[in-house]
A and B are shown apart, each in its own frame.
Chain A
C-alpha cells in the first residue's frame, strides 16, 4: 500500500443555499478543496463569490435554516464529517479543528470584556486549563503574536488597542483553541496598509512554526500570494481555477484569473495590454447559466452560455474550468 497520506482537510462538492422568504439563493454551488498537513491554501474571489460562506461552513457558523448545506464528503484526517457539517451545532466539533481570524478586528472582540477575560475563557472552557494556567498561557499567546508587556495588557479593554494590535489579539484568540487549520477571512482588509504587511508576516510565521494548515480567504491576489502555496479562484459560487501559486501567477489559464492578475497593480509588470474585467460579478442567486463568467468574458462563445465547463487538469495539480483554454493560453502568450 503506497497511497499518499490523506490530506488534513478534504472537502468535496460543497453546496450552500440560503432560503429567504421569497426565494432561494445558492451562495456556494460546488466547491471542492483540500488542505495538506502544514499547507497554506488561498481562496481568491470577489465579494459575493461564496468564499466567506465556504469558510464559515467549515466552522459551523451558518445558521441552518435559512442556510442549507450539502456536501459529497468532508473528511478531516480521514475522519468522516460529511453528515455532521450539514447539521446545526457543528461548531462544537468544528472548533476543535478549525479557528478563524475575521476581517474586522474592531468589532470582533467583545467590547465589555478585558482581553485577558476573553482569552482565558477560551483556555479554561475549551482547553480545560485551571485559571492560573490559563493566565500564563494567555501571556504566552500574546507574546507569540508579539504584543509586548503581555502581563499588563491582559487587563486592557479592546478599544484601548490599535486595529493592528486588535487583529494580533484575534490571532492569539484563534491560537488559543490550538487549531489544526486556521481560517483567515480577509484578515488584513480592514487595516492600514503599513500594518497589513506585519500581520501577514505574523500569520506566515505562525503557520510555519506551528505546522498548521491554513485557509486564507481574500479578494487580493498579492496578499494571497504572500502567504499561501496553492490558490483556489472562486467565481459565482464555484471554483474556476486552482493550482500552485507560482504556476497561477506565471501562467493564469482561466480568463477570469487572467483578468484579476491584469487588473492588479504590480511593480514587475507595470504595463499590461490585458484589459480589466468589464462589468460586475453577479449577485448570489443571479449567476447566468453555463459558465457564470461568460457575460464578462472576452473569449465567450455560444457554448459558454449553454454548458458549464468541467474543471480539467492542466499541469502540476492545476485544474481549470473553461471551454476555451487553448485560446486563453494563446492570448496569454501574446502579453
Chain B
C-alpha cells in the first residue's frame, strides 16, 4: 500500500507496492549517495592533514609581525594578506585549524565514551539508573542551544580545556538519548536474551553483543557532534569566552577582524570560509554515514 503518484521514488522501491518491492541493498545505497560524502571526506581529511602539519608548513610565525604593512591584501609573500598587527593571516589560519580539529576530536571522543557508556547502562539497566540518567538529560536539554555551553564556560573560565568540557556537556544528552534508544531496542532481541539465558555476564553482554550493535548509530551522532563542536568552539572564541588571543582560532580571528571590517574584510572572510568549508565537509560526510547506518532515522534525536 505504498504506491502513490506523489510518493518519493527513491525512499521505497520506486513506486512498487510494498509487498512487491525488492529489498534495497547496501551497495545500491552507496551508489545512490554519489559524490557528496566522498567530497566531504576529502575536505575533512585535507583539513586534518593541514592541521597536523601546520607547524612545519607555516610560511611565517603566526604570532609576531612579519610584514611592514598592516591589513595588506593577498600577495606572494602573504597569501591571505596580513592582519592589524601585520601578522601573516595564512599562517594564523594554519595554526587555528589545529584548534578546530583538536576540539572536534576531543569533544567527539569524550561524548562518544561518556555518553555511550551512560546511554548503554541506562538503556540496559533500566529502573532507577535509567530514571536518574534521564533526569540529568532532561535538565541539560532544558537549557537551549549554545546557552548551556556559554553558561558552563562562564563559570569555568575561558581556555581550550574548558571549551572542550562545555561543548562535551552540551552534546552529552543527545548522545545518551540516541545510544539509550538503540540499546533499548537491541535489549529485547533474541540473541541478547539467549546470552542471558546461557549465563553470560552483564559486562560481557554489553561490550561484546550490544555495544557493536549500537556503535553504528553512535558513530552517526558523533559525526554530527564533530561539526557541532567545531562550530561551537568557533562561536565561543568569537564571543571572546573561548580560546583566548593571541593564540589564533578561526573564531577569534573573525572576532578580531570585525572591528576592522571596513578596512580589510578579507581578514574575516578567509577564516569564515575555512570554517564553512570544514563544516560543509563534515556535514556531507555525516549525511552519507547516516544514510548507510540509520536509513530510517529511527534513532535521530
Residues of chain A whose beta carbon lies under 8 Å from any beta carbon of chain B:
18-22, 25, 27, 47-48, 50, 52-53, 56, 60-63, 65-67, 88, 91, 102-104, 107-108, 283-285
A63's contact among B1, B4, B28, B31, by CB below 8 Å, is which?
A: B4
| Distance between Cα atoms of A53 and B1 in the complex (Å) | 10
- Does B20 sit within 8 A of A, measured CB to CB? yes
How many angstroms between the C-alpha atoms of A65 and B10 in the bound complex?
Answer: 12
**Contact present for A284 and B3 (CB under 8 Å):** no
Chain B's nearest CB lies how many Å from the CB of A35? 21
| CA gap between A47 and B22 in the complex, in Å | 12
Contact for A20 among B1, B4, B13, CB less than 8 A = B13
B16 touches A56 (CB 8 A): no
- Using known A-B contacts A22-B28, A283-B22, A284-B22, determine if residue A88 contacts B16 with beta carbons closer than 8 Å: no
Listed from nearest, the 6 A-B pairs whose CB atoms lie closest are A66-B14, A47-B19, A63-B15, A63-B5, A48-B20, A52-B17
B259 at interface by CB-CB < 8 Å = no
Q: How distant is A187 from chain B, measured CB to nearest CB, in Å?
A: 12
A103 contacts which chain B residues (CB < 8 A)? 1
Contact status A52-B5, CB under 8 Å: no
Q: Could you say which of B6, B10, B20, B31 contacts A27, with CB atoms under 8 Å apart?
A: B20
Distance from B27 Cβ to chain A, minimum over Cβ atoms (Å): 9
Q: Which residues of A contact B31 (CB under 8 A)?
A: 21-22
**A17-B103 Cα distance, complex, nearest whole Å:** 52
Q: Is the CB of B14 within 8 A of A18?
A: yes
Contacts of B157 in A (CB 8 A): none
Contacting A88 at CB < 8 Å: which of B4, B5, B13?
A: B5
Q: Which residue of B lies closest to A49 (CB)?
A: B20
Residues of A within 8 A of B19 (CB): 47-48, 52
Task: Contact check, A104 vs B1: say whether CB atoms are below 8 A apart.
Answer: yes
Chain B residues with CB below 8 A from A52, complex form: 17, 19-20
| Residues of A contacting B5 in the complex (Cβ-Cβ under 8 angstroms) | 60-63, 88, 91
- Residue in B4, B6, B22 whose beta carbon sits within 8 Å of that of A25 in the complex: B22
> Across the two chains, which residue of chain B brings its CB closest to A50?
B20
The residues of A that contact B9 with a CB separation of less than 8 Å are 63, 65-66
8 Å CB contact of A47 from B7, B10, B20, B28: B20
Interface size on B, residues (CB 8 A): 19
The complex places the Cα of A144 from the Cα of B242 at a distance, in Å, of 72
B32 interfacial contact with A, CB 8 Å = yes
Complex interface: chain A residues within 8 A of B14 (CB): 18-21, 66
CB distance from B9 to the nearest CB of A (A): 5
Q: How far is the CA of A266 from the CA of B91 in the complex (A)?
A: 85
Q: A56-B17, A283-B22 are in contact. Are A107 and B4 (CB under 8 A)?
A: no
Contacts of B1 in A (CB 8 A): 102-104, 107-108
Residue of B nearest to A284 (CB): B20
| Cα distance A114–B13 in the bound complex, in angstroms | 32
Cross-chain contact A21 with B32 (CB below 8 angstroms): yes
A62 to B15, CA, bound (A): 7
For B4, the chain A residues whose CB sits under 8 A away are: 61, 63
List of B residues within 8 angstroms of A67 by Cβ = 15
Question: Which residues 31-73 of B sit at the A interface, judged by CB distance below 8 A?
Answer: 31-32
Residues of B within 8 A of A21 (CB): 10, 14, 28, 31-32
Q: Are A27 and B22 in contact (CB under 8 A)?
A: no
Residue among B3, B5, B17, B32 with the highest chain A CB neighbour number at 10 A: B17
Cross-chain pairs A/B with CB under 8 angstroms, 20 sampled: A18-B14, A20-B13, A20-B22, A25-B16, A27-B16, A27-B20, A47-B20, A48-B20, A50-B20, A52-B19, A52-B20, A53-B17, A53-B20, A56-B17, A60-B5, A61-B3, A61-B4, A63-B4, A67-B15, A284-B20
Q: Which residues of B contact A63 (CB under 8 A)?
A: 3-7, 9, 15
Q: Which residue of A lies closest to B6 (CB)?
A: A63
**CB within 8 A of A62: which of B3, B10, B22, B32?**
B3
In Å, the complex CA distance between A139 and B281 comes to 59
User: Are A285's CB and B3's CB within 8 A?
Assistant: no
- Besides the contacts A47-B20, A283-B22, what 8 more A-B pairs have beta carbons closer than 8 Å? A18-B16, A27-B20, A56-B3, A61-B5, A63-B3, A63-B15, A66-B9, A103-B1
**How close is A120's CB to chain B, nearest CB, in angstroms?**
23
In the bound assembly, the distance between CA atoms of A315 and B110 in angstroms comes to 77
Residue ID in chain A nearest B8 by CB atoms: A63
User: A185's closest neighbor in chain B, by CB?
Assistant: B1
Which A residues are in CB contact (< 8 Å) with B22? 20, 25, 283-285
Chain A residues near B15 (CB-CB < 8 A): 18, 62-63, 66-67
Bound CA–CA A60/B16 (angstroms)? 14
**Bound state CA distance, A19 and B22, in angstroms?**
12
Q: Taking CB as reference atom, which chain A residue is nearest B9? A: A66
CA distance A63 to B14 in the complex (A): 9
Q: Which A-chain residue is minimally distant from B17 (CB atoms)?
A: A52
Q: Which chain A residues lie closer than 8 Å to B17 at the CB level?
A: 52-53, 56
**B4 CB, min distance to chain A CBs, angstroms:** 7
